[in-house]
Amino acid sequence: MTWELFAVFLGSSIRLATPLLLAGIGEMVSERAGVLNMSIEGMMLTAAFAAAVGSWATGDPMLGLLIGIIAVQPIALLQAVLSNTLRANQIVSGIGINILVLGATTLAYREIFGARSRAEIPGLAKIKPPLLGDIPVIGSAVFEQVWLLYAGIALIVATALVLRYTSIGIAIQAAGAEPKAVDKSGLSVTRIRYGCVLFAGFMASLSGAFLSIGDIHTFTEGMTRGAGYLAIASVIFGKWRIGGTVFASLLFGAATALQFQLPALGIAVPNALLIMLPYLLALLAVGGLVGRQLAPATLGEPYRR
Amino acid sequence: MNMASAPAEIVAEPLLSLSAITKRFGNFTALSDVSLDIRPGEIHCILGENGAGKSTLCNLIFGVHRPDGGSMRYRGASFQPSGPADSLAQGIAMVHQHFSLVPDMSVVDNVLLGRQRGLLNRAECARQLEKLAVDYGLPLDPFAKIEDLSVGERQRVEIVKCLIRDPSLFVLDEPTAVLLPDEIAALLDVCHRVASSGRAVVLVTHKLAEIKKIADRVTVLRGGRVVATSDKPAAEIDALVRAMIQGNVDTLDQSAASILGLEPVKHIGHGTENDNTPKTKVEALQIDGLTVRDYQGVTRLDNFTLTVDRGEIVGVAGVEGNGQSELTAVLAGMMTPSEGKIYLGDINLTAKSPKEITAAGVGIVPEDRHAVGCVTGMSLAENIYLNRLDEFTRFGFLQRSALEREAAALMQRFDVRARGPGALFSSLSGGNQQKAVLAREITLPNLTCLVAAQPTRGLDVGAVAAVYSHIRAACERGVAILLVSSELDELLTVADRIVVLYRGRIMGSCVADPDRREAIGAMMAGQPQ
């Protein structure tokens, strides 16, 4: 493999990992607080659609991104109400939301775009960081990315610091591991969990917007194609740690990137097999390579005083 | 408002006063017309049996529940906490019956939870912890993870969590249930120090020894009502107990009385009573080198070897979590041992299924009766014959009338009180559920061995006495009995011989003699004798 090809592979791995990374970190925070958001997939799809429509209608991708973020919050709020206040089964309610969103976005897409499908949509700009981007060969191939990725990295670092060094951080961890302790210390478990679900929604909306107006500048029906579920898998694979989740996202991203790289190298592997690869990895991860005992103790269980 | 009154009067006023408090859960009245005063500088004990409303009372004070009637006054002002946050802000701190600590966080983080906003200052908190350690004699490593601490140390974390808030009112809900004897002494010492600095301590307990030692005043609850109060509890202890259990202490089953600490424990185990009919030693249960390693490779039970003869009661003592659960789970066939053998007479029961073990004549009264001992959504009759339902089927159909007839007979024999054999099991009280489980296991047709784990947990005095007499009766019939309990008094009362488990090993064994209490306590703490 030549260096150029490797650099392209690295660059596209990062690009393909970005949605998983963004959504995965949000999901990790929510799961640490004890709420499992199966609806991350639906939230991403909503954001992808709303950001695309917003960007196309206003001509400004920044406004599109903003519209995407705003559009997801009601869904996140719905999930939060279902899983905390109404104490619904979190898996069933999440999947319900996903199916609803798939139908709603498909219908709305056909209504709005109709015959004009594949319309060119203004997308978010790419940036090249000053020093890294000037490295020969790999500079632009690896580091010239949509600015949302760099914003996301900053958000992830901030999240790590908040979890480690602030009172909110230990309250989030305690809400998932021992909610009674949170309640008895005078904090509100419900409020913490609502906040975390809304944060997961925010991160998922960045992720969804990246898919449509960051990566390919268009919207297609059901375009998330399970990326939300992969994000959940990367949280499990990453053992509910920031570093682990980032690593798992990159691994899944690289597995996806192989689809485009192997044919370019002239290695004849059926494409369908390669498309399966990240999902196969996720299956192995969730199916037992990672110990279950590492999950937050009350993950998926609504809190009852 | 009372706020305007003179300072001298405020000092004389109680710190907290409850008047005519009533609390209902659905149509069950947990507290009814409860009035009491807590004065600054006193240790006020709340005494009562299980279900008397003690925990409910604490939860009302701490703001977890809100009263349905009556009012509370705190520091001379009306007090209506809407949640723990309100009570904490007012200087009320509480140690709950069950620990609420985050296992994978450090001591410091657990203490800081809910106390600090924004950035955490762990170093400052560690310094405060060290100061408390000196002031109250509560040594702790601030940066140790909770999951690495012993039960006693976790209790210390719970106490430190409260003390660091410098509370005016310190509520402890049955804090000594899981502690070793010298840890209990240390805890009572902390209560003393808190009270002597002018703050008030509310201590909920059903152990009379503690009340004798420490209480300034006692309020006795029974059935959600205040039935007695005393300003001189040590002198009036008998009257208080009588009020608590509503009966004459003298007629109380002796073993149950000794559990309460009413009188010096006398050994009334089976062996000393029946000296005129010497038993021939017949080994029933043989456990040889039993070892259990969990999925992480941690050894939970380490080379456990024990023989229980027919007609003998062997007690397994130890602080909870030292391998008892694994031992009973393996004996019940719910867990596969990593090494070792189990024999019942000549029958090898190692790693057999629960069905085979039952068929061999081993009765199991499990530790957690709700999870594995019964099916709460089925009727009492179905539960009481759960392991023998086959005997009540004809052509594959369950003969309910026969089942309920037989069950009614068992209910009478074991004094299981319920609406009838068809009553839903979950509608029974804890004591009656336990009696039903015991009835099922003890009436196994070929019972040769009974394994009973924590058989009296959560039961009131009457039920405890009944459970003991059934266990003893089975022993008289020549059943080998293995009694696992974290209550040392229970073992000293009922067992012939005691082995002590510590971190999965047998630390030592001795005859069940109350004079050996200190030695057993030391073994429970991991010191070989």
Domain limits for position B279: 252-361+445-529
B287 backbone φψ class: left, alpha, beta (φ>0; ψ -120 to 50): beta
Q: In this structure, are B319 and B392 located in the same domain? A: no
Q: Which member of B64, B101, B112 has the closest CB to residue A178?
A: B101
| Amino acid A118: pLDDT | 66
Residue B342 pairs in a beta bridge with B287
Q: Could you count the other beta carbons within 10 Å of the beta carbon of residue B332?
A: 20
Query: Which residue is listed with tokens 């993870």?
Result: B145
Are B450 and B363 within 8 A, CB to CB? yes
Q: In this structure, are B57 and B113 located in the same domain? A: yes
User: Which CATH number covers residue B55?
Assistant: 3.40.50.300
Is B369 part of a structural domain of the chain? no
Is B246 part of a structural domain of the chain? yes
Query: What's the total number of domains in chain A?
Result: 1
Its pTM stands at 0.79
Cα separation of B144 and B160, whole Å?
14
Cα separation of B223 and B29, whole Å?
9
Contact B120 A166 (CB under 8 A): yes
Cα separation of A287 and A291, whole Å?
9
| Amino acid B6: pLDDT | 41
List pLDDT tens digits, range A66-77: 999 999 999 999
Cα separation of A40 and A179, whole Å?
23
H or E stretch at B521: helix B517-524
B62: chain A residues, CB-CB within 8 Å:
184
In terms of pLDDT, which residue wins out, B243 or A184?
A184
* Residue B119 at interface with chain A, using a CB cutoff of 8 Å: yes
Is B89 part of a structural domain of the chain? yes
Instruction: Give me the residues of B, 5-64, that contact A with CB < 8 A.
Output: 62, 64
Nearest in space to B28 (alpha carbons), one of B53, B47, B49: B53
Q: In this structure, are B263 and B279 located in the same domain? A: yes
Top residue of A32, A161, A185 to mutate, by most chain B CBs within 10 Å, is A185
Q: In this structure, are B159 and B95 located in the same domain? A: yes
Is A80 part of a structural domain of the chain? yes
Cα separation of B466 and B415, whole Å?
8
| Amino acid B271: pLDDT | 42
Q: Could you count the other beta carbons within 10 Å of the beta carbon of residue B30?
A: 23
Are A32 and A182 within 8 A, CB to CB? no
Query: What's the total number of domains in chain B?
Result: 3
Cα separation of A31 and A179, whole Å?
13
Q: How confident is the model at residue A196 (pLDDT cuts 50, 70, 90)?
A: very high
Q: In this structure, are B319 and B288 located in the same domain? A: yes
Listing DSSP states for B291-351 in one string gives EEE-TTS-EEEEEEEEEEETT-EEEEE--TTSSHHHHHHHHTTSS--SEEEEEETTEE-TT
| Amino acid B267: pLDDT | 41
Q: In this structure, are B160 and B296 located in the same domain? A: no
Per-residue pLDDT of chain B (529 residues; tens, 9 = 90+): 344 444 444 445 899 999 999 998 877 788 999 999 999 999 999 988 767 888 899 999 999 899 999 999 999 899 999 999 999 999 999 998 788 899 999 999 999 998 888 899 999 999 999 999 888 888 899 999 998 888 788 889 999 999 999 999 999 988 876 677 778 888 899 999 999 988 999 999 877 778 888 899 999 988 889 998 988 888 888 888 778 776 544 445 555 555 555 444 344 444 444 444 444 567 789 999 999 988 777 888 999 999 999 999 999 998 877 889 899 999 999 889 999 999 998 889 998 999 899 989 999 998 877 778 888 889 999 999 888 888 888 888 888 899 999 999 999 888 888 888 888 888 887 778 888 998 999 998 889 999 999 888 777 777 788 889 889 999 999 999 999 998 888 898 899 999 999 888 999 999 988 888 888 888 888 888 7
| Amino acid B11: pLDDT | 47
Query: Which residue is listed with tokens 């709305």?
Result: A108
User: Of B417, B443, B469, which closes a domain?
Assistant: B443
Domain limits for position A174: 21-223
Q: In this structure, are B241 and B257 located in the same domain? A: no
Is A258 part of a structural domain of the chain? no
Whole-complex ipTM: 0.88
Cα separation of B519 and B529, whole Å?
7
A178: chain B residues, CB-CB within 8 Å:
100-103
User: Of B407, B428, B443, which closes a domain?
Assistant: B443
**Strand (E) positions, A31-115?**
none
Nearest in space to B175 (alpha carbons), one of B139, B214, B145, B142: B214
Q: How confident is the model at residue A171 (pLDDT cuts 50, 70, 90)?
A: very high
| Amino acid B497: pLDDT | 93
Q: In this structure, are B262 and B318 located in the same domain? A: yes
Q: Could you count the other beta carbons within 10 Å of the beta carbon of residue B408?
A: 18
User: Of B396, B423, B443, which closes a domain?
Assistant: B443
Q: Could you count the other beta carbons within 10 Å of the beta carbon of residue B182?
A: 13
The single-letter code of the amino acid at B327 is: L
Q: Is the pLDDT of residue A198 over 60?
A: yes
User: Edge-to-edge strand order for the sheet containing B283-293?
Assistant: B299-309, B283-293, B339-344, B347-348
* Residue B164 at interface with chain A, using a CB cutoff of 8 Å: no
Q: In this structure, are B327 and B415 located in the same domain? A: no
Contact A174 B105 (CB under 8 A): yes
Listing DSSP states for B451-490 in one string gives EEESTTTT--HHHHHHHHHHHHHHHHTT-EEEEE-S-HHH
Cα separation of A46 and A42, whole Å?
6
Q: Could you count the other beta carbons within 10 Å of the beta carbon of residue B457?
A: 18
Residue B228 pairs in a beta bridge with B220
| Poorest-pLDDT segment among A106-115, A166-175, A244-253, B461-470 | B461-470
| Amino acid A87: pLDDT | 93
User: Edge-to-edge strand order for the sheet containing B505-511?
Assistant: B362-365, B449-453, B480-484, B313-317, B497-502, B505-511
Residue B229 pairs in a beta bridge with B219
Is B366 part of a structural domain of the chain? no
| Poorest-pLDDT segment among A42-46, A275-279, B255-259, B431-435 | B255-259
Q: Could you count the other beta carbons within 10 Å of the beta carbon of residue B124?
A: 12
Are B357 and B332 within 8 A, CB to CB? yes
Q: In this structure, are B220 and B357 located in the same domain? A: no
Top residue of B102, B119, B122 to mutate, by most chain A CBs within 10 Å, is B102
* Residue B112 at interface with chain A, using a CB cutoff of 8 Å: yes
Q: In this structure, are B257 and B323 located in the same domain? A: yes
Nearest in space to A121 (alpha carbons), one of A223, A217, A216: A217
